[in-house]
Amino acid sequence: MNDALISYILHLADNTLILAQQNSAWCAHGPILEQDIAITNISLDLLGQARNFYQYAAQIINSAKAPSPLKRAGGEVTEDTLAYLRDTRDFKNCLLVEQANGDWGKTILRQFLFSNYQYLLYEKLQHSNDEQIAAIAAKALKEVIYHLRWSSEWVIRLGDGTEESHQRMQNAIDELCMYVDELFTKADYETALLKENISVDVSLLKNAWYKKTGEIFSEATLKIPENVFQQTGGKQGIHTERLGYILAEMQFMQRAYPNSVW
């Protein structure tokens, strides 16, 4: 049970950390100042969620008597060891969040697809039998509402904008839609925690997600392609090549200068 719980919390944490890291690359590169600030604000919210989840995972790992491979760094596990000292195969984020930023349209679309999922997930997760997971979800849900509204409005503006912005959004959909099904495919650790009502059955979120996406896309004059091959694996640690590059940059300082602080 403990292993599944730790994996589940790390999955929730990794999703938010990787998306936060990717969004933060827009800092000082946004198309206009206000939206630059918006995407970095969202990044900060996601990073806050990641920290809460990692802190909780660290607490459970440290209190477990059994030796854990995560304790290899020697001594106590912290939020930082979990973020900076695990390899790609240890990361359990879904493939969607590790896809490249691309242009502004693709970043917006990735945020919308994920926020729509995260909103539905946290709505359920705030009633989890695990008190700390429930508390983190309830707190973050208020922020996710802002992310979802903001990204929905931008999908509509760009989709129903100029010929070029419309084309770029449609391209982004074609690039990202193969990573959607994974969001609703249960990993073994999610299944294991269902009985105790700790995790959420993500397969049950699919209809509501498609309904909302359909509404926003139709207002944005965008189409969801059908019968697209679906790639999964991220939640089990099987990632696309790109995660390696993300971690190489994010973890560089701790890998090159272990335990450095500033």
Partner 1 sequence: MNDESNIQVKKVWKILETVMDPEVPVLSITDLGIVRNVKIDASNKINITITPTYTGCPAMDVINMNIRMCMLENGYKDFEIKTVLSPAWTTDWMSEAGKQKLKAYGIAPPNPKQIVCTTDVFQEEEAIQCPHCNSYNTQLISRFGSTACKALYKCNDCFETFDYFKCH
**Pattern 34-53, partner 1, x by CB under 8 A:** xx-xx--xx-xxxxxx-xx-
Q: Say whether residue 15 binds partner 1 (CB under 8 A).
A: no
CB of 88: closest distance to partner 1 in angstroms?
25
Q: Say whether residue 149 binds partner 1 (CB under 8 A).
A: yes
Q: How far apart are CA 82 and CA 251, in angstroms?
A: 11
Helix, strand, coil fractions of the chain, as percent rounded to 5: 70, 0, 30
Q: Say whether residue 73 binds partner 1 (CB under 8 A).
A: no
Q: How far apart are CA 197 and CA 128, in angstroms?
A: 6
Q: Say whether residue 14 binds partner 1 (CB under 8 A).
A: no
Report the residue number, 214 or 244, with the smaller CB distance to partner 1: 214
First to last CA, the chain: 37
Residue 73, Cβ neighbours under 10 Å: how many?
Answer: 15
Closest among 121, 69, 70 to 94, alpha carbons compared: 121
CB of 96: closest distance to partner 1 in angstroms?
19
Q: Say whether residue 161 binds partner 1 (CB under 8 A).
A: no
Residue 177, Cβ neighbours under 10 Å: how many?
Answer: 19
Q: Say whether residue 140 binds partner 1 (CB under 8 A).
A: yes
Residue indicated by tokens 């995660």? 243
Q: Which stretch binds partner 1 (CB under 8 A): 64-72, 149-157, 232-240, 244-252?
A: 149-157
CB of 38: closest distance to partner 1 in angstroms?
4
Q: How far apart are CA 141 and CA 147, in angstroms?
A: 10
Give residues in contact with partner 1 (CB under 8 A).
Answer: 34-35, 37-38, 41-42, 44-49, 51-52, 119, 131-132, 134-136, 138-140, 142-143, 145-146, 148-150, 152-153, 156, 212, 216, 219
